[in-house]
Amino acid sequence: GARQQAELCNESLMLEKLPACGKFFEEMMKKVDSKKWCNLTEFIMYYDNFTQCTEREANNASCFWPNPLAEGFITGIHKQFFSNCTSEKVHWEDPPDEILITLILIPVMLTCAMITLVVWCSKRSDIL
Statement to judge: residues 75 and 99 lie in one domain? no
Query: How many residues does the structure list for the chain?
Result: 128
pTM: 0.61
Statement to judge: residues 40 and 70 lie in one domain? yes
Rounded (5°) CA angle 85-91-92: 150
| CB-CB contact of 29 with 55 (8 Å) | no
**In degrees rounded to 5, what are phi and psi of residue 125?**
-60, -25
Question: Model confidence over 79-94: pLDDT tens digits?
Answer: 999 988 876 666 778 8
User: What number of other Cβ atoms are within 10 A of residue 73's Cβ?
Assistant: 21
For the chain, the domain total comes to 2
| CB-CB contact of 92 with 48 (8 Å) | no
Statement to judge: residues 77 and 104 lie in one domain? no
Question: Model confidence over 21-41: pLDDT tens digits?
Answer: 999 999 999 999 988 999 989
Statement to judge: residues 104 and 45 lie in one domain? no
Statement to judge: residues 26 and 58 lie in one domain? yes
State which residues of the chain have pLDDT below 50: 1-5
DSSP 92: -
Statement to judge: residues 27 and 67 lie in one domain? yes
